[in-house]
Amino acid sequence: MTPVTAPLILIDDDADLLAAQSQALRLDGFTVQAFASGAEALKAIDATFPGVVITDVRMPVLDGIEVFARIRALDPDLPVILMTGHGDVPMAVQALKDGAYDFLSKPFAQDDLRQSVRRALQTRELVLENRRLRQAHAQLADQDCCHPLLGDSAVMTHLKSVVVRVAEAEVDTLISGDTGVGKDRVARALHALSARKGRAFVHIGCAALDEERFQSELFGSEQSSRPGAPRRIGRIEKAHKGTLLLDEVEGLTLSQQARLLRVLETREVWPEGAESPRLVDIRVIAATRIDLVQAVRDGRFRADLYYRLSGVTLRVPPLSERREDISLLFQHFLLAAAARLKRPAPRLSLQAQSHLRQHDWPGNVRELEQYAERYALGIDDSLPGNDADAPGLAEQMARYEDALLRETLERHEGQVRSVMEALKLPRKTFYDKVNRYGIDLNVYRGR
């Protein structure tokens, strides 16, 4: 039986029962630390203890209820399972109300203890994972020069380093990427990390501009339609000394592209009714979800405008290329949503954790953020519905195991020995699972 990584602390003053129970749990695959007294056991426990405590209630000097009370004061989320005699059941029930994880009335079946321990270990794992993610999020927020982009994957680390250099250079930039990957966030990072960060950041959704609104929205007018009212300042001029984002730039018509090209070449705008142009000092960032080079070939986008915009081109990777960032991004969005909704952030359930690992996220960061907002409201899309086609337990466990194997291979860059040690898998079992799930080990090597 492969041992479980997280340890169990077993406490019982009866030496024979302690030895028998320790042996039974070890045969079930658990890692056990046995103690004959609560005082000795407490020395091995702190707020970072990754496992579960199982304690007898009736013990001299320090009984199980007092052990539970001291553990609860140290870490209220550390699962404690109480083993009670018949006369101690009311006491154990009260302990459950006070936060104990479970109690088993003697004599109990070994399978009852085994199942209780496994559930408690899953709960502890989720608690510690939530803490780790919250700590990582807090560290990001506390950094003196916090980068506006989140993610520790190799592709995001590279993108962030490039963004810093490009932001300092203040060259016009084209950002490409699939829908929902966060092109707007990259644009705002370029602005926030530049010398223009104290000035305006003006967002223009190009796909929503018809011919009638294009002139007035972007260039403004010298006279207002209302007598005595000040002139209307266009959005390009509002970005003076700041940054102008042309989002979905592929949505501009050819005539709109021609007028915009002149602005980029001369850095001046002509408001409607003006006798002379107005100079503008702007940094231009364009974002697109299509291949503009192909659009130029097809005659849908002006080549001269493309070359003007693409002095530097940044590609934002989809979530499928940065899956190791998903947990951190989700926790960031969850905490932000909970703060906005003025409610505590819910803990990440086992089903939600599995959903984060297994879902393809075709909508990328935007879809993940929306899922986090629904989760903050208590709406968990990962829970199986009443649909007859919903996967059963065996299928769900297989998906979870497949995802965990792939994630660990990714983390250890395909080093088989390291993966087997991390997952506590014998060689034969490891390769059986690799073959069962059709995993190509070469994909993960040398990354």
Between residues 196 and 211, the one the model is more confident about: 196
Query: Which pLDDT band holds residue 185 (cuts at 50, 70, 90)?
Result: very high
Query: Which pLDDT band holds residue 414 (cuts at 50, 70, 90)?
Result: confident
Q: State residue 446's pLDDT score.
A: 58
- pLDDT, one tens digit per residue, over 426-440 is 888 888 888 888 888
Q: State residue 212's pLDDT score.
A: 76
Q: State residue 123's pLDDT score.
A: 84
Q: State residue 228's pLDDT score.
A: 58
Return the closest-CA partner of residue 56 out of 5, 2, 31, 20.
Answer: 20
Helices 350-358, 110-142: crossing angle, 10 deg rounding: 60
- Specify the CATH number of the domain 319-383: 1.10.8
Q: What is the mean pLDDT of the chain?
A: 85
- pLDDT, one tens digit per residue, over 55-79 is 999 898 899 999 999 999 999 989 9
Return the closest-CA partner of residue 250 out of 260, 237, 265.
Answer: 260
Distances (CA, A) of 9 to 23, 43, 116, 167, 372: 13, 11, 14, 53, 35
Say what percent of the chain tops pLDDT 90.
Answer: 45
Q: State residue 222's pLDDT score.
A: 78
Q: State residue 386's pLDDT score.
A: 39
Using alpha carbons only, what angle is made at residue 247 by residues 243 and 250, rounded to the nearest 5 degrees?
A: 130
pLDDT at 174 over 70: yes
Instruction: Point out which residues pair with 32 in neighbouring strands.
Output: 8
Task: Return d(Cα 313, Cα 320) in angstroms, integer.
Answer: 21
Q: State residue 395's pLDDT score.
A: 66
Q: Would you say domain 7-139 falls under CATH 3.40.50.410?
A: no
Between residues 146 and 414, the one the model is more confident about: 414
- Specify the CATH number of the domain 154-317: 3.40.50.300
pLDDT at 425 over 50: yes
Lowest mean pLDDT among 104-113, 125-134, 195-204, 317-326: 125-134
Query: How many C-beta atoms surround the C-beta of residue 261 within 10 A?
Result: 16
- pLDDT, one tens digit per residue, over 2-45 is 455 678 999 999 899 999 999 999 988 899 999 999 999 999 99
Q: State residue 432's pLDDT score.
A: 83
Mean pLDDT of 217-241: 79
Q: In the numeric block, which tokens belong to residue 103?
A: 């109690």
